[in-house]
Amino acid sequence: MIKDTESIECTEYLKPIMFVGTASDVGKSIITTGFCRIFMQDGYAPAPFKAQNMSLNSYVTSEGLEIGRAQAVQAEAAGISCHTDMNPVLLKPTTDKSSQVILLGKAIGNMSAKDYFKPEGRAQLFAEVKNAFHRLRVKYNPVVMEGAGSISELNLKSRDITNMRMAKEAEAATYLVTDIERGGIFASLYGTIALLDEDERKLIKGIIINKFRGDMGLFDEGKKKIEELCGVPVVGILPYFKDIVIEEEDSVALTQKMTRAVDGKVNIVVILFNRLSNFTDFNRLESDPRVNLFYSNNAAEILKADIVILPGTKNTIEDAIAIKNNGVAKAINEAFKNDKTVIGICGGYQMMGGSIADPHGLESGISQTDGLGLLPVHTILQAEKTTRQCFFTYQNLKDKCTGYEIHMGETLATEARPLNFLPDGQTDGYLFNNKCWGTYMHGILDNPAVINHLLAEYTAIEHTITDYAQYKEEQYDKLAALLREHIDMEYVYKSLKS
């Protein structure tokens, strides 16, 4: 549901709103998503904004530029097309010490954390971030902002371009989010606010407590003590929920999804690479009632699956070496020999070939390694990144499919046996047979034709896959309803109008 913002008349201006956290993964992204939907429902024209995001889960805009997947989801909740101004800086970790830096949708190189946080260049980077924000502010009302990690990391504060420095630039009504499941919220809330400067503290308008279990009435005394300690109201206590499905921001969520093979369903294992990227490729498949989808790097569990998927990775060579060393590569080859289905997406596709070369050192200090040898293809990583949204047909089926490409490699086959066919005559991937293929197309498993074709080998159960776009719209509405029920929206709106 994409709207034209120029057709929306909002006579009332709202200040930007920002959701910051006591730590990473406390719920900032999902709350930002919910508020994007609330403001849209209430007749405003919201847009999300996160100055800097660190994630291996990314998306491609209609202009063929790259942003964090979370901001694309938030834009979708707001009913608008995503844009690089919504996430001007994206960091994609390639190793434990370095990341690829994406500025306004384009890769500008790899940097170590030490180099990235050097004072030199931070002013220019912050200028780019501010310009992106102000471009959004002119067009949208309100801008719904998200912080990153904790707002009280004192060692990084002077180089901050994401949290309270950005809140001050935007003069945003700022709400502090914490996760009660982690424990210690009195100390984390009080300490976080106490460590702020006075001008920063004045921007904090309220506190939102996330993932509460049980009777909220039993926390009345706790709420009162938090308000006395912190000097701001607790404007919402959100219950823990599992019945609303919103895409997670990053692979930290996979720790809760690592299950095992079960009887009575088609078991699909996604190989858990060290640098696994774009795990949202499997959300649609995971929701199919015929499927038990799980993530694993355990060879014994992998061999129990009917279908093995090699997903994307931000470091193909090093992950290829890792799975050879931990026995996973042997299990994948054994699954292939046992006539199981083995497919690869992006980096996983590259890994299925004969070799992967990185002559320019783009992802690794290792210049080349052998692949699994399942497909007669070879990959060379290139400096120029391919990022584009695509329409295509899968194999010889007539259904029109959609997906997107994000990769730095060129994969060449010894003979042309494409999997996908694009309208401009280009092709994608390699089809060895129905049980073994590879593709660069992220989102390929969001398409009903592909899912049904993939599962037909293993189940005669027919399932009409619901309209996924409509399904996601329903989830955004459910999230908005939950936030309205448990957050003092009258207070929030008042803070945005004062």
| Buried residues in 43-54 as b, exposed as e (16+ CB within 10 A) | ebbbbbbbbbbb
Q: Element (H or E) spanning 11, and its range?
A: none
Q: Give which of 78, 209, 81, 275 is closest to 67, Cα–Cα.
A: 81
Is residue 387 within 8 Å of 64, Cβ to Cβ? yes
In the structure encoding, which two tokens stand for residue 240, read together?
A: 């823990």
Rounded to whole angstroms, the Cα distance separating 190 from 361 reads: 45
Candidates 83, 378, 407, 442; catalytic one: 442
Counting Cα atoms < 13 Å in the Cβ hemisphere of 371 gives 25
For 3, the enclosing helix (H) or strand (E) is: none
One-letter amino acid for residue 177 of the chain: V
Q: From CA 324, how far away is CA 3, in angstroms rounded?
A: 48
CA distance 244 to 472: 10
The answer to whether 346 is a known catalytic residue is yes
Torsion of CA 326, 332, 335, 339, to 10 degrees: -170
* 33, HSE (Cβ side, Cα atoms, 13 Å): 26
Would you say how long the chain is, in residues? 498
Strands 66-68 and 58-60: antiparallel
| Burial of 227 per CB tally in 10 Å (0-12, 13-18, 19+) | middle
Q: Which two tokens stand for residue 336?
A: 């292939």
Largest interatomic CA distance in the chain: 71
The residues, any chain, with a CB within 8 Å of residue 39's CB and separated by 6 or more, are: 14, 45, 46, 78, 142, 144
Query: Is 82 marked active-site?
Result: no
The one catalytic residue in 36, 82, 230, 346 is 346
Active site residues: 346, 442
